[in-house]
A and B are shown apart, each in its own frame.
Chain A
């Protein structure tokens, strides 16, 4: 059932790194990712007729034309997506929808996230330094409400916002911190089986999480993602062209997107997230049932994000997320495989590529290419992207051909 107009057939994914020793421009990274993805899917470059990208620093205006020119692509569909961490999932369905309406057939979806080479004669700036985001996330622009009503009170970056969501959730539903910690621990277990994970050699326990430093109550250090550099790309193609690809095509059978706010304060209800609308639409479009899902790939900037997504995507009732976490084994060989790549908590958050890791992992699992962490039966996956302060939400249902 559901849509079977477009499929993901190929990908490239770089191992996230805290420090990136070979700086390159965003368009250079895009070219390398494109070449690797085309090779993975045995496509010719000139078959590409669609580009989906995030803004690129080298060309803040006219981004798609800059990238098309750089890659030597003549493209019928050119899209810049700006949905924070939900961007990659949002890119996937936009590509699939464009293919379905027939405006293009083979779309490259690109998420480079690497530091640019050091500017010649530049003083001060250190682009090879640690990956970090400006705390204000652009909210201090002239006229921005955030600059007047949030930033002066310290509601900046992302952690305080998610901490406020967690505070209210835990107050209303009495979830124990150890339950949230279990998410980080079992995802870390999965990361140990992922050679690309930044934490592939560092197992953790519940006690490790509980004893890690309190960052913003109730969130502790090991419940937070680590910003990294990296990059990834996928190739979305028509059902027809997918038949000639070497790997099992992964159809996008359903999708949904929803957003309601920017600053968390104005979220209609802290514990009833826009995920619900996105996921309901995706499941309805797909025709798949929640019970049939073989694996979930859920955006995990924080542990609380995962718990709320499990609830609001409909895998359990509101308020039952804690019990669900306790009842299930979330490891790749468990009864409810979750973030089998380690999630971003285990693999690292390489900018937008971090969000893409939830897509690429589902694709690798459904294609039977997940090696030592392969889920036994992997035909149907739920993928979720969260952007901003639990604001932008995208749900995808992926089905193996």
Chain B
């Protein structure tokens, strides 16, 4: 679910299952669940999407990733983000395996490439922390 930040952008509304992920982000840690069989998965779930078991454990990750793909949104498909164009929407592949949706920050949109190494970059907005990535 989303709520609007004071500056108008949509923010995540954590729930009991996802709260540890957002709490860790606030503390500048990228933390996800690891299943002993399926490995690290994203996003947080009550059961592993590989085997539906619940013997996963939270784990702190490296924060390293590569750009799997991206686009530059030129018109703001979310009108709540229209004043931020152009911005880079990306799917990054974490070093530990799973993909995440994010924004690439810290460089010009033209400089983003598929396969580019990136690292996590935190952004506090109101009471939530967004997880962006920036070039290494």
Contacts and interface: CB of A to CB of B under 8 A. Distances in A.
A and B: interacting chains: yes
B35 to A, nearest CB: 16
A153 B102 contact: yes
B68 A270 contact: yes
Contacts of A149: 12, 42-43, 100-101
A151 B114 contact: no
Contact of B1 (A147, A214, A218): A147
Nearest to B90: A164
Contact of B101 (A144, A153, A167, A168): A153
Contact of B89 (A154, A214, A266): A154
A15 interface: no
Contacts of B77: 135, 154, 156-157, 159-160, 216
Contacts of A157: 77-78
A117 interface: no
A216 B71 contact: yes
Nearest to A135: B78
A319 to B, nearest CB: 15
Interface residues of A, number: 40
Interface string A270-294: 1000000000000000000000000
Contacts of B79: 135
Given A144-B1, A163-B71, A150 B13 contact: no
**Among the interface residues A143, A144, A148, A266, which one has the most CB atoms of the partner chain B within 10 A?**
A148
B114 A171 contact: yes
Interface in A107-164: 135-136, 140-145, 147-157, 159-160, 163-164
Contacts of A171: 69, 113-115
Contacts, number: 118
Contacts of A263: 101
A371 interface: no
A215 B75 contact: yes
A141 B1 contact: yes
B28 interface: no
B114 A148 contact: no
Contact of A152 (B9, B73, B113): B9
B71 A160 contact: yes
Contacts of B102: 153
Contacts of B99: 265-266
Nearest to A221: B75
B18 interface: yes
The winner among A157, A160, A265 for most chain B CB atoms within 10 A is A265
Given A148-B43, A216-B77, A155 B69 contact: no
Given A136-B2, A156-B77, A168-B114, A217 B71 contact: yes
B39 interface: no
B89 A153 contact: yes
Given A140-B2, A165-B69, A216-B73, A151 B15 contact: no
A153 B103 contact: yes
A148 to B, nearest CB: 4
A95 interface: no
Contacts of A218: 71
Contact of A143 (B10, B15, B69): B15
A217 B100 contact: no
Contacts of B113: 171
Interface of B: 1-2, 9-15, 18, 42-43, 68-79, 81, 84, 87, 89-91, 99-103, 109, 113-115, 130
21 contacts: A135-B78, A142-B13, A143-B1, A147-B1, A147-B2, A147-B13, A148-B2, A148-B14, A149-B101, A150-B101, A153-B130, A154-B89, A155-B89, A156-B77, A215-B74, A216-B71, A216-B72, A217-B74, A218-B71, A265-B91, A265-B100
10 closest pairs, A vs B, by CB? A163-B71, A148-B12, A168-B69, A171-B114, A157-B77, A147-B1, A164-B69, A217-B72, A142-B1, A265-B91
Interface of A: 135-136, 140-145, 147-157, 159-160, 163-165, 167-168, 171-172, 213-219, 263-266, 270
